[in-house]
Each structure stands twice: as C-alpha cells, then as structure tokens.
Amino acid sequence: GGAAGGGAAASSSAPYHRHVGVQLQHSLGQHLLKNPLVTAAMIEKASIKSTDVVLEIGPGTGNLTLKLLEAAKKVVAVEHDGRMVVELQKRLHGTAEGRRLQLIHADVMKVELPFFNLCVANIPYQISSPLVFKLLAHPQRFRCALLMVQREFAQRLCAKPGDELYCRLSVNTQLLAKVDHLMKVSKNSFRPPPKVDSSVVRIEPRNPPPPVDFVEWDGLVRLCFNRKNKTLGAVFRQKPLLQLLADNLKTHRALVGAMAGGMAGGGGEGSSGGDGGAAPMETGGGGGGGLLAEVGELVEQVLEETGFAEERTAKLDQDDFLRLLAAFNAVRARPRSAQIATGCQSRVPEMTRLAAFQHCGGERVWRRSGPQQRVRGCRHLASATSPLAL
C-alpha cells in the first residue's frame, strides 16, 4: 500500500505506471511501497496494540493495510482515488480482516477525520506539511503518527537551532509535538520509484498541548524566518515590517473600538445618539508617521527587554520564541486606549492579541453576539485580528 489519496486531481495526460491493473498517477503522489522489510519495520516501530484504532492515509492496494489489520482492532483508511478503493475492496472482500476496515473514499484534506489513536501512513509528498498540521489539530488526542515522508521534509521536521534546514516548519511542529527520525528508506523501495529518498518519522503530540495561541505564534515565527540569518534587530527594524505591524495595529484598534462601542450602545445607559458608543481609538496620526513611530518604540522595548536585538532567528530555540512572544504580549499600548475591558481589570495588549489563557485560566470558548466577541468566564473583549497574525 501507500498510494495516498490527498493530492490534486490527475490529468488525463499525467505520467503513470501500471500496477495490479491500475494506472498510478504521479499527480496524486502514488508510489506504492513494495519492500516488505520496510512495511514490517514500520509495523514494529508503531508498537500497535490490539485495542488500537489506526488511521492510514492513502492505503493504495493494501500492502501496509493488511499488516495493520493483523495487529490492530480496527483500521480507518482514507483513499482519494476511486480505483484504489475498488482494488482494496476486491482484495479484502469476504475476509475477516475486511470487517475491521473502515474505508473512506475522500480527499483527506477535506474530510473530517473520525476517532483514531494511532496513525501509520505513506503519505503523498505534496500534502505533507498541511497534513501534519491537520493531524496535530485533530480535537481527539492520538498517541503518535508514523509517517513516510520525503527525506528533506523529515530533516526539516527534526532540525534543531543552528542546523541548515532549521525553519518555520521545524519550530511550529516541535511546539506542538515531539518529532523523531526513525529510518531512511531508499527510493527503490517504491513502484514507481520517486525522484528522492524517503524517511519514516514519529510525531507524538504534546499532551496537554502548549498554552499558546497558535495564530499568534505562527505570525511571529513567520516574521522572524523571513530573514532567518539576520539579527532580530535588523528584521524588526525594517520599515516595511514596521508599516505592516502599524497597519495591523490600526485595524486591531478599530475593531476594539467598534466592539466596545457595540457594548455601550446596546446596554441602555448612555446609549442615546452618538455619545453612547466608545469613541474610535486614536492611532497617533491616522496610520501615518505617528503610529509608525509608536510601533517602532514598542518593538524597541521588546528587543531591549528580551536582549534579542543581536540574536539571529536561525539560532533561537522554542524557549526563545516563547519568551519573545510573551514580551510582545506584555507590551502595553498608550494608557488611554489600553483599558478596553468591562468588568475585567486586565489591560489588553495591542501588539498581539492576548491569548485568553492569561485571563480565563485556559478556557477559550467563544460566544458570538453581533459585532462583539466575549470569552466565557471573563468579560474582557478580544479582537479576532492579531497584528502579528499575518
């Protein structure tokens, strides 16, 4: 097995190879794992229990699927290619193993995944990154995922600060999971052989997940890795970046002002005419030089407090990024515009959207009501737009 079905649709002129009567489409990333030793090694390293429900993505003709069914209680297989679905159904028709297989004919990136506590799969290379984060975002925590991926992608997943391949993918994945490189797999283990070698990685989601707003985190990491070999001072002092932050801050303040005005206007007291809502917050020059200078001052404050002005992104580890994000979250805007809470005495920072963990003990359930959003358990308002969430 291993002709995963989550990629783009195949064209009629796409190159193909014939295997068990099926044309293997390169555009779907279909490379069947033919080496039984690799299959056996993946099964062994997965440490499958007899009570496990295993997710397989792209079962192909079922070589890996059959081995999974021998060890697991149930296998959920997601296959995009209807021809492969038919082949797998034929192969398992009337067998005891077939009754423990749930076969889903769908694009894995578009389907809602059912419960599973282990994932073992040879995935299509073109969807490796979005698929990893889809798995890590699954609401029901799973034990681990063993994935066959492109060698360079595996190296990026596992890269450490200072490594040549250390990148945004490395930082984001390692925030959410523990990643280990298990073994190398030659391209000759597949039919047809891909152009590059592969690797098997183990991804173990952190449980509980880190108390970090991932949108904020990714926005910050994205900015830093735009110039990963430059110092953070050089990165954050670039005028285009400061202007981008200023524009986002202006949008954030406008949304906060609208939400605060909505609360005041709907409450009854002092809501007559134009005086009931809160006045729009000033942006220090209407988004011009005043606001840009303000953002520059806030950035300098963060760089000074963290001591990261001369540090380079390529050398920062998880703790460094967490410290940097916490520093941006701790920045307070000008006092007259910072206190937008009603009943909650905390001051909401404006350089990033403050994660609700700092206000509400980790409860992050949103209740939407008209133009405003409230966090249950705390009456402060939080904007849906973060200046760093680019």
Q: What's at 115, amino acid-wise? A: F
d(CA 204, CA 146): 9
Helix axes 214-225, 318-330, angle to 10 degrees: 110
Place of tokens 């880190």: 210
For the chain, what is the radius of gyration of the CA atoms?
25
d(CA 287, CA 307): 28
| Whole-number Cα distances in Å, 321 to 65, 148, 172, 174, 223 | 40, 29, 10, 12, 12
Q: Is 17 annotated as a binding residue?
A: no
Nearest in space to 382 (alpha carbons), one of 214, 260, 295: 260
Q: Is 229 annotated as a binding residue?
A: no
d(CA 294, CA 29): 49
Nearest in space to 149 (alpha carbons), one of 57, 64, 82, 55: 57
Q: Is 58 annotated as a binding residue?
A: yes
Q: What's at 50, amino acid-wise? A: S
| Exposure on the CB side of residue 193, measured as CA atoms within 13 A | 9
Q: Is 380 annotated as a binding residue?
A: no
What is the sign of the dihedral through the CA atoms of 24, 28, 31 and 33?
Answer: negative
Residue 182 DSSP SS3:
strand
Strand-pair category, 177-185 with 198-205: antiparallel
Three-state SS across 189-204? HEECCCCCCEEEEEEE
Nearest-5° Cα angle at 236, 230 to 242: 145
Q: Is 107 annotated as a binding residue?
A: yes
Q: Which helix (H) or strand (E) holds 245?
A: helix 239-266
Q: Is 317 annotated as a binding residue?
A: no
Residues placed in the known binding site: 31, 33, 58, 79, 107, 122
Residues placed in the known binding site for S-adenosyl-L-methionine: 31, 33, 58, 79, 107, 122
